[in-house]
Amino acid sequence: MKNSGIFETGDGSHSILSEKFGVTYHSKHGAIQETQHVFIKHGLKSKLGTSHSISILEIGFGTGLNALMTLLEIKDLSIQVDYHTYEAYPISMETAKQLNYPKLLGIDSKKFLIMHEIDFEKEHLISNNFHFTKYKKSFDTIGFVNQFDIIYFDAYGPGQQPELWDKPLMEKMFLALKKDGILTTYCAQGAFKRNLKAVGFTVQTVPGPPGKREMTIGKK
């Protein structure tokens, strides 16, 4: 447990301290609370009811919490979700098995762990309405055009990887979204929001999750 960098956040859910970047994967105030607010409430739920299918691009698979909570949110809905996620530095299976998300969320741990186990670059059917593809690639390799309804932008912060918050990647994400698609992220940095606007996004600042005053939504 100690070597994995796992610790308990304010809502009882686990997060990880990255040794490589010296930052945590989630808010110390609550990993599940943060994902629910930033990515489910302001991302997924904003598109539910608009179509029989939703396509999601996640920048930063990390612990897999965003994908797991998306799977849980749609499990009883008549909707198909096509979920693509990028992660250049995957966590180990040993670490994934120690995370307490399935227990706290009341979901089968097998559906969580399989997302860490499966091969990269291949589509997998995790449930009857959740199609899942992950890529072990850096985020700047994204080359999608008009494919996604939602982007979960969950990269490490501008202080750790400033290149991921600059115009070139913002342009790639703008191109990847369909018309009326949205990007949602925990970050509310002024320079980042200016970069979003510069590449064509309409930017909205909304209240953040517990412990954070604001977050950002970009609309195409």
Check if the beta carbon of residue 13 is closer than 8 Å to that of residue 104: yes
Q: What is the pLDDT of residues 163-181, one digit of tens each?
A: 889 999 999 999 999 999 9
Contacts 24+ apart (CB under 8 A), 96-99: 96/63, 96/64, 98/1, 98/4, 98/6, 98/14, 99/6, 99/14, 99/63, 99/64, 99/65
Give the tens place of pLDDT for each residue, 19-64: 887 789 999 999 999 999 999 999 999 999 888 999 999 999 999 9
Taking Cα atoms as reference points, which of 59, 61, 64 lies closest to residue 14? 64
CATH code that applies to domain 31-219: 3.40.50.150
- C-beta of residue 120 within 8 angstroms of C-beta of residue 150: no
Strands 14-16 and 6-8: antiparallel
Greatest extent of the chain over all pairs of C-alpha atoms, in Å:
45
Q: Minimal CA–CA distance to 79: which of 56, 105, 107?
A: 56
What is the spatial distance between Cα 13 and Cα 28, in angstroms, rounded to a whole number?
10
Which letter does DSSP use for residue 219 in this model? E
Q: Percentage of the chain with pLDDT > 90?
A: 87
- Residues 25 and 19 sit within 8 Å (Cβ to Cβ): no
CA dihedral 212→140→174→22, nearest 10 degrees, is 0
Domain boundaries, the chain: 31-219
The 10s digit of each residue's pLDDT in 126-139 is 999 999 999 999 98
Pairing relation of β-strands 80-86 and 53-59? parallel
Local structure of 93: helix, strand or coil: helix
Question: What is the value of pTM for the model shown?
Answer: 0.95
Give 184-207 pLDDT, tens digit per residue: 999 999 999 999 999 999 999 999
Q: DSSP alpha helices (H): ranges in the chain?
A: 31-35, 45-47, 65-74, 93-98, 101-105, 109-117, 167-176, 190-198
Tokens of 189: 């940095």
